A and B are shown apart, each in its own frame.
Chain A
Amino acid sequence: MHDIILGFAHAWRLLITGDQDVWGTVFRSLCVSGLSTVVGCAVGIPVGAVVGLRRFRGKRGAVALLNLGMSLPPVVVGLIVYLLLSRSGPLGFMRLLFSLSAIVIAQTILAAPLIAALTVSAVESVDRRARMVALSLGASDVRATLTLLGEARFALGAAVIAGFGAVISEVGAVMMVGGNIAGHTRVMTTAIVLQTGMGQIDVAIALGIILLLIAFIVNFGLGFLQRWR
């Protein structure tokens, strides 16, 4: 018990004094997860919008596939990205393994289907009259679709937040493809795992507090958007 209390005291000191290692890791995590979420949105929102709005043969299968993508096991994604990027893999020539780019790729693969699946339900939940009203007032097809997405903006915001929340708290895939290299590819989750294993409980607690705080802000934002809908 004494060690834990001491760990908390040290953790606060690290946070307050602006420890470079701790805050560097936090900054790296936010950048990598933020970029993965942006790329995940760039892929997931258009795909989700098309699947949600268009009628086409195989739509049910597409929705099922996206829902399956939501529950992709992160370590399996990590393994696939690892195999693709490893020196003997088909993309090995790019020399991306154990880099931040590899982490972004893995996190994007995890975030995109989640954002796409939530986008499908977001656009499907918008009243169908929205599109008809937009067209009846002179909007083009594209403009009417954008209007419909605008009507789903709170649910889309929630999808983005959920995507970010999923990737920032992810550890398995990041560890496999990033390699957890100090000062280079170490992010909050992998640092917590490593520091706990090494017995440096104060650093792990400091990072855990920040991760919890981020998770709290993300969930608060999600709840706020859902109440606002």
Chain B
Amino acid sequence: MARELAIDARGLGHRYGAREVLRNVNLQVPRGGVFCIFGPNGAGKSTLLRLLDLLETPTEGRIIVGGVEALPDARPALRRCMATAFQSPYLFRASVEANAAYGLRVRGRPRRERGDRAREALERVGAISLLRLPAWRLSGGEAQLVSIARALAVQPEILFLDEPTGNLDPPNAGRIEALIREYAAANTVVLVTHNLFQARRLAHYAAFLHQGELIEQGRAEDILNLPRDDRTAAFISGEMPG
């Protein structure tokens, strides 16, 4: 069973000081496909993402990635199976090409391979024309494309995307959605989004998070069309009080 799960999170809880952000989250992300985490602002989606991609350590609970528990010693190796493109992208003070190749560089890949794969990733997101530009000259949308390319370039088994099309115009958003669909055919994509239309278009599985609690999870079409919980239904129908 464990081997069929890309990520198995058990009893996750997280606090920032006295503030409890997540409470007893049990989340199972199947291997392959798009797993969408959705919920209102402040539900704890981005925190959950940072726990799942092992950038933060939960104050409670366990995370098992591909059958291996993410204990401190195992985290660096497990992190190398993953890559993340964040909601507000941060690009290093270097060229777009160097940014796209960063993950390959830290993996010690040869220079030629780094260049080829970085260019290929930039080509796929439609940002190849930016290759030689310094990253600090890019617009918000261009930076988001490069950030996605940078994550894709390492070809992670699990790709985390936090609001990946938030800064993009419709043509670029469409291109990235197509790319997510294609990538998820052979890998796992964990997508955090507010955009329910996007969730319907892309997600194979979904989980609804509300006030730090996981309300429900399962097949996306079930959750999005026939939610079992009233809070999920209220959020999907737009009737959840702010």
Specify whether A and B are partners: yes
Chain A residues close to B by CB (< 8 Å):
127, 129-130, 132-141, 143, 147, 150-151, 153
For the complex formed, measure the closest distance between the CB of A55 and the CB atoms of chain B, giving whole angstroms. Answer: 13
Taking a contact as CB atoms under 8 Å apart, the answer to whether B55 and A138 are in contact is no
Q: Which residue of B lies closest to A141 (CB)?
A: B76
Chain A residues within 8 Å of B90, by CB: 127, 129-130, 132-133
Q: Which residue of B lies closest to A127 (CB)?
A: B90
Taking a contact as CB atoms under 8 Å apart, the answer to whether A133 and B79 are in contact is no
Taking a contact as CB atoms under 8 Å apart, the answer to whether B82 and A136 are in contact is yes
Taking a contact as CB atoms under 8 Å apart, the answer to whether A138 and B79 are in contact is yes
Chain B residues within 8 Å of A127, by CB: 90
Contacts across chains A and B counted by CB atoms under 8 Å: 55
Taking a contact as CB atoms under 8 Å apart, the answer to whether A138 and B80 are in contact is yes
Taking a contact as CB atoms under 8 Å apart, the answer to whether B76 and A140 are in contact is yes
Taking a contact as CB atoms under 8 Å apart, the answer to whether B103 and A138 are in contact is yes
Taking a contact as CB atoms under 8 Å apart, the answer to whether B79 and A147 are in contact is no
Taking a contact as CB atoms under 8 Å apart, the answer to whether B103 and A137 are in contact is yes
| Cα of A141 to Cα of B88 in the assembled complex, Å | 22
Chain A residues within 8 Å of B50, by CB: 132
Taking a contact as CB atoms under 8 Å apart, the answer to whether B92 and A151 are in contact is yes
Chain A residues within 8 Å of B150, by CB: 137
Contact of A143 with B53 at beta-carbon distance under 8 Å, contacts A129-B90, A130-B92, A138-B83 already known: no
Taking a contact as CB atoms under 8 Å apart, the answer to whether B93 and A137 are in contact is no
Given contacts A133-B92, A138-B82, 19 further A-B contacts (CB under 8 A): A127-B90, A132-B50, A132-B55, A133-B86, A134-B106, A135-B79, A136-B53, A136-B84, A136-B151, A137-B84, A137-B102, A137-B103, A137-B154, A138-B106, A138-B107, A139-B106, A140-B106, A143-B106, A150-B93
Interface of B is mostly: mixed
Q: Which of A138, A143, A151 contacts B154 (CB 8 A)?
A: A138
In the complex, 26 of the A-B residue pairs with CB atoms within 8 angstroms, ordered by the A residue number, are: A129-B86, A129-B88, A130-B90, A132-B86, A133-B84, A133-B90, A134-B102, A135-B55, A135-B79, A136-B55, A136-B79, A136-B84, A136-B86, A136-B151, A136-B160, A137-B84, A137-B102, A137-B150, A137-B151, A137-B154, A138-B79, A138-B83, A138-B154, A140-B106, A151-B92, A153-B93
Taking a contact as CB atoms under 8 Å apart, the answer to whether B92 and A147 are in contact is yes
Chain B residues within 8 Å of A135, by CB: 55, 79
Q: Which residue of B lies closest to A148 (CB)?
A: B92
Chain A residues within 8 Å of B102, by CB: 134, 137, 147
| Residue of B53, B88, B90, B107 with most partner-chain A CB within 10 A | B90
| Cα of A15 to Cα of B196 in the assembled complex, Å | 76
Task: List which B166-200 residues lie within 8 A (CB) of chain A.
Answer: none
| Cα of A137 to Cα of B97 in the assembled complex, Å | 15
For the complex formed, measure the closest distance between the CB of B152 and the CB atoms of chain A, giving whole angstroms. Answer: 11
| Residue of B88, B106, B154 with most partner-chain A CB within 10 A | B106
Task: List which B76-123 residues lie within 8 A (CB) of chain A.
Answer: 76, 79-80, 82-84, 86, 88, 90, 92-93, 102-103, 106-107
Chain A residues within 8 Å of B107, by CB: 138
For the complex formed, measure the closest distance between the CB of B77 and the CB atoms of chain A, giving whole angstroms. Answer: 10
Chain A residues within 8 Å of B106, by CB: 134, 137-140, 143
* Chain B window 52-93, contacts with chain A (Cβ cutoff 8 Å), 1 for yes, 0 for no: 010100000000000000000000100110111010101011
Chain A residues within 8 Å of B83, by CB: 136-138
Chain B residues within 8 Å of A147, by CB: 92, 102
Chain A residues within 8 Å of B93, by CB: 150-151, 153
For the complex formed, measure the closest distance between the CB of A166 and the CB atoms of chain B, giving whole angstroms. Answer: 27
Chain A residues within 8 Å of B84, by CB: 133, 136-137
| Cα of A140 to Cα of B102 in the assembled complex, Å | 13
| Cα of A153 to Cα of B80 in the assembled complex, Å | 26
The 6 lowest CB-CB distance pairs between A and B, nearest first, are: A137-B103, A129-B90, A136-B84, A138-B80, A139-B106, A133-B90
Q: Which residue of A lies closest to B79 (CB)?
A: A138
